[in-house]
Structure 1
Amino acid sequence: MNTKNLVLMALLVGVGAVLYIIIPGINGGMKPDFMLTMMFIGILLFPNVKSTFLLGISTGVISGLFSTFPGGFVPNIIDKAVTAFVFLGLVLLLNKLANKVAVGVILTGIGTLISGTVFLSTAIFVFGAGAIFQELFVIVVIPAIAINAIAFFIIYPIIGKLIKRTSFETALTV
């Protein structure tokens, strides 16, 4: 892992944080998690354990700091770490196919589903969050799956083209 890769991962997390902050809440203030989308892009670009660990933890901490969900800090860290490694497993399983936009959109949907499930389960288990799992899942997670998939569909090809024009060594350029 070199400095250029770390800088690119930090930029992805930073862009995700900015998008997360400026996008207004939906369904009672809950927000789609664009940091998750950027984390998925980072994992697709750098599909290795070290990068995934850094992306998962940094995304979790920053998401937790900006979370509008009561007691959302700890569940965000847990959910991003778990989701990052499950997503990495799927990417490694699919190998070169994972870099196709259509496959990436599907993986983003699956990753968002996993993230939402882990987050809600953790929040309800640890903090006894007042809402019912199914209710929150339908109101927040399902729309987030669609929004994150659309965001990935728009953002990933742009980042892919930019990466190919630079000297970055990523899964797209190898």
Structure 2
Amino acid sequence: MNLRKNILTALLLAIGFILRQLTPGALGGMKFDLFLSFIFICLLLNPTFKNAILTGLLGGILNALTTTFPGGQLPNVIDKLITCVILFIIIKVMIHVKDNQIFVGFIAFLGTLISGTVFLTSALFISGLPAPFTLLFMTIVLPTSLANIVMTLVVYQVVQSTLKMTGVKFA
């Protein structure tokens, strides 16, 4: 990986971390994970396996630092790593449409569903859930999936425009 791509990944994760820090805890201490949008953008801009692992690990650690979910530190790391690897495979298979708006929205929706499901499942087995799985899924994961579509599309366009204006080549 080149340094420029690593720096962009770090900057995007730092911005996502600040947003995550400002997001209040909701039902059962679970947060609306808008940080995922920045993870998805990192994967779309630099679809390499090394970047997927790096983004998943750093994203999981940063989320673990800001979690309000009881015992949610380890489930955050697990869910980000698994989500990044799955999305890396999907992006690699569909690389020819990775800049398509529908595909970017699809990645945001699917990635949030995967992340939320893995998080809740791993939390259930590691520390237990403060509310029923279905309730947390319906009230946190599904609304966050919809919000992440919009957030990812907007931020992805801003990042792409910025890269184009500065003349930075990522392809």
Query: The residue matched to 2:31 in structure 1 has which SS?
Result: coil
Relative distance call for 1:90 and 1:8 in structure 2 (3 A) is same
Partner amino acid for 2:16?
G
* 121-130 or 63-72, which deviates more: 121-130
For residues 151 and 59 of structure 2, the distance between their equivalents in structure 1, rounded to whole angstroms, comes to 17
Amino acid of the structure 1 residue aligned with 2:99: N
Q: Write the distance in 2 (CA, Å) between the matches of 1:35 and 1:62.
A: 9
Stretches of 4+ aligned residues off by more than 6 angstroms: none
Instruction: Tell me what 2:100 maps to.
Output: 100
Q: Is the 8 A contact 2:32 2:144 kept in 1?
A: yes
Partners of 1:35 and 1:167 lie apart in 2 by 26
Change (3 A) 1:130 1:23: closer
Question: Hey, what does 2:70 align to over in structure 1?
Answer: 70
Equivalent residue, structure 1, for 2:136? 136
Shift of 1:139: 1.3
How far apart are residue 29 of structure 1 and its match?
4.9
Structure 1 vs Structure 2 CA RMSD? 1.4
Q: Secondary structure at the match of 2:126?
A: helix
Asked whether the 8 Å contact 2:28–2:130 carries over to 1, the reply is no
Tell me the CA shift for residue 169 of structure 1.
3.4
- In the alignment, structure 2 segments of 5+ residues that lack a partner are none
Q: Is the contact between residue 101 and residue 156 of structure 1 (CA under 8 Å) also seen in structure 2?
A: no
Q: Distance in 2 between matches of 1:92 and 1:168?
A: 22
How far 1:165 sits from its partner (Å)?
Answer: 2.4
- Contact between 2:29 and 2:70, CA under 8 Å: does it hold in 1? no
1:68 Cα shift? 0.8
Alignment of 1:37-76 (within 5 A): 37-76=37-76
Provide Cα deviations, 1:32-67, integer angstroms capped at 9, x if missing partner. Answer: 212211010000000001111110000000001101
Deviation at 1:12, TM superposition (A): 0.5
Deviation at 1:122, TM superposition (A): 0.1
Question: Structure 2 length as normaliser, TM-score?
Answer: 0.94
Q: C-alpha separation between the residues in 2 aligned to 1:132 and 1:23?
A: 22
Aligned-partner SS, 1:165: helix
What is the SS of the residue equivalent to 1:130?
Answer: coil
Structure 1: stretches of 5+ with no match in the other structure: none
Q: Note if contact 2:28-2:69 (Cα within 8 Å) is conserved in structure 1.
A: no
1:47–1:92 contact (8 Å) kept in structure 2: yes
> What number of residue pairs does the alignment pair up?
171
Alpha-carbon distance in structure 2 between the residues aligned to 1:137 and 1:14: 26
Query: Residue 150 of structure 2 corresponds to which residue in structure 1?
Result: 150
Distance 1:44 1:20 in 2: 20
